[in-house]
């Protein structure tokens, strides 16, 4: 297969983990006889510094020419600590999602047997947890009408029936390939937008009679996720709730550095780790590249290349079992491995198989 990949390293640890993702893709293409080309583009704080726009037109065109985007991270404390900044790196991420029509964010959450002890939750609670969060990505508070002055501010949470229907269908299609259980998360007892979500969900559920559907308020879901994560199979929810719940879910695995994601929709799909730019670790070769590498597995699987994805997952599992780990997940007394060393180990594993 021939694949054109747009690579957006971004800020902070982004360039370091991005390189490991590119190296793994190159190893897979060599191993399986694919032709993969890479085109790099600016986004986030680096793009603001260069051209004053966190998602420049040239970057958008690069993404549109590609078959997929390998994205890493954006964010910079210079902007976090300046509430008066009119242009921010995160606006680039929102612009990318909106302009590419990426309405569905897919975040798999699963535990690794060799890392269960790293979770803040008890082993008997998290062992065997395996679910997917489907987050609506281009509507809600993040994209609604906004206003802000020194005394008053608001964000508008707007959803339409077509937006809700299309994300629900994504969730049900995933459930049909899994354990056939969908949990719709909302706040229908308070929010009008959530009541529309629930109404539409009840209609769509009738089209999938083989799938069990339950409805859960977001506060209850956040508690249930910690108390009984194995209850869930596919969770579907709106933008803001999904953002918060998926970060909460990351603690189940023991590290945000282990969780990949895919964003799909109308145009070029984007594959990325769920974590941020961790600017404090920039250039220190300590960032965990596994979420970026696992996003490569999701990318290949998106194009029907299941064997390639399986090999990446086997390589990641093998690296963990061999204690080839970055500091935040290393076992006591384990040898120190940096970002590049972990990536190189996984590339070598792929070449040897």
| CATH number for the segment(s) 103-258 | 3.40.718.10
> 82, 219, 317, 348: which one is catalytic?
219
pLDDT digits (tens, 9 = 90+) for 183-201: 999 999 999 999 999 999 9
**Contacts for 124 with CB less than 8 Å, ≥ 6 apart:** none
Rounded to whole angstroms, how far apart are CA atoms 145 and 158? 8
Give CA 191 to chain center in angstroms. 26
Does the structural domain 1-102+266-353 have CATH classification 2.10.210.10?
Answer: no
pTM: 0.88
User: Does the annotation count 187 as an active-site position?
Assistant: yes
Angle at 328 between CA 326 and CA 330, to 5 degrees: 60
- Is there a contact between 89 and 54 (Cβ–Cβ < 8 Å)? yes
User: Does the annotation count 154 as an active-site position?
Assistant: no
Residue 8 pLDDT? 97
User: For the chain, how many residues are written?
Assistant: 353
> 67, 217, 247, 282: which one is catalytic?
247
User: Does the annotation count 186 as an active-site position?
Assistant: no
pLDDT digits (tens, 9 = 90+) for 332-352: 888 889 999 999 999 999 998
Indicate where the chain has its CATH 3.40.718.10 domain(s). 1-102+266-353, 103-258
C-alpha closest to that of 292 among 242, 327, 257, 252: 257
Low-confidence ranges of the chain (pLDDT < 50): none
Residue 332 pLDDT? 84
> 23, 53, 187, 349: which one is catalytic?
187
Structure tokens at 23: 């190296």
> 23, 76, 243, 349: which one is catalytic?
243
> 11, 76, 118, 142: which one is catalytic?
142
């Amino acid at each position: 297969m021939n694949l054109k990949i747009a690579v957006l390293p971004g800020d902070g640890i982004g360039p370091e983990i991005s390189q490991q993702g590119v190296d793994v893709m190159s190893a897979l293409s060599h191993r399986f006889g694919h032709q993969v080309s890479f085109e790099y583009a600016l986004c986030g704080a680096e793009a603001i510094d260069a051209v004053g726009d966190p998602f420049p037109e040239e970057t958008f065109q690069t993404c549109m020419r590609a078959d997929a985007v390998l994205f890493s991270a954006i964010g910079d404390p210079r902007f976090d600590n300046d509430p008066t900044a009119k242009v921010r790196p995160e606006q680039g991420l929102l612009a990318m999602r909106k302009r590419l029509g990426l309405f569905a964010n897919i975040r798999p959450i699963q535990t690794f047997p060799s890392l269960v002890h790293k979770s803040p939750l008890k082993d008997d609670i998290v062992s065997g947890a395996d679910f997917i969060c489907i987050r609506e990505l281009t509507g809600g508070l993040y994209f609604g009408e906004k206003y802000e002055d020194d005394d008053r501010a608001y964000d508008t949470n707007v959803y339409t029936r077509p937006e809700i229907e299309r994300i629900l269908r994504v969730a049900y299609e995933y459930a049909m390939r899994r354990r056939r259980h969908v949990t719709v998360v909302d706040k229908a007892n308070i929010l009008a937008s959530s009541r529309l979500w629930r109404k539409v969900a009840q209609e769509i559920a009738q089209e999938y009679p083989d799938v069990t559907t339950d409805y859960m308020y977001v506060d209850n879901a956040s508690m249930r996720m910690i108390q009984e994560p194995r209850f869930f199979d596919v969770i579907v929810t709106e933008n803001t709730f999904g953002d918060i719940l998926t970060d909460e879910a990351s603690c189940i695995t023991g590290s945000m550095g282990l969780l990949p994601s895919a964003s799909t929709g109308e145009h070029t799909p984007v594959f990325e780790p769920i974590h941020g730019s961790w600017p404090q670790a920039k250039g220190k070769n300590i960032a965990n590249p596994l979420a970026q590498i696992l996003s490569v597995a999701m990318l290949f699987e998106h194009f029907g290349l299941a064997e390639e994805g399986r090999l990446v997952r086997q390589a990641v599992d093998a690296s963990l079992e061999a204690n080839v780990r970055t500091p935040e997940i290393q076992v006591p007394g384990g040898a120190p491995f940096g970002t590049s060393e972990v990536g190189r180990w996984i590339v070598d594993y792929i070449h040897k198989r």
